[in-house]
Amino acid sequence: MPRIMKKKPSKSTMLKKKKKRARIHEQAKCRFCRDKTREVDYKDIPVLSKLITSQGKMFSRNRSGNCAFHQRSFKSAIKRARFLALMPYMA
């Protein structure tokens, strides 16, 4: 995307920049570790649908906040759910 020439910052915009944004607190543990679930259930549609985009793609580990073990478990669960037509391959 072509970059448009920036306006010279006036005093009012400079003041706006100084405002600090509230940081989103990152949780230390992944959601499945917190619930102490060993394996992600492929029948648990509300949980699975929280971890996919509107297009039906899976969220990355960085985006979902899952640990490696549960991300792998989630991956196979969503593939199982897709095969059983519980989740969409794409939407």
Looking at 30, 78, 81, 87, which residue binds Zn ion (CB under 5 A)?
30
* 58 is a contact residue toward Zn ion (CB under 5 A): no
Residue 33 in the binding site for Zn ion (CB under 5 A): yes
> Between residues 68 and 90, which has the closer beta carbon with respect to Zn ion?
68
47 burial via Cβ count (<10 Å: 0-12, 13-18, 19+): middle
Tokens of 72: 């792998």
Q: Dig out the tokens for 66 from the structure.
A: 């899952």
Answer yes or no whether residue 78 interacts with Zn ion by CB under 5 A: no
67 touching Zn ion, by CB under 5 A: yes
CA dist 3 and 39 (Å) reads 47
- Residues forming contacts to Zn ion in the complex (CB under 5 A) are 30, 32-33, 67, 70
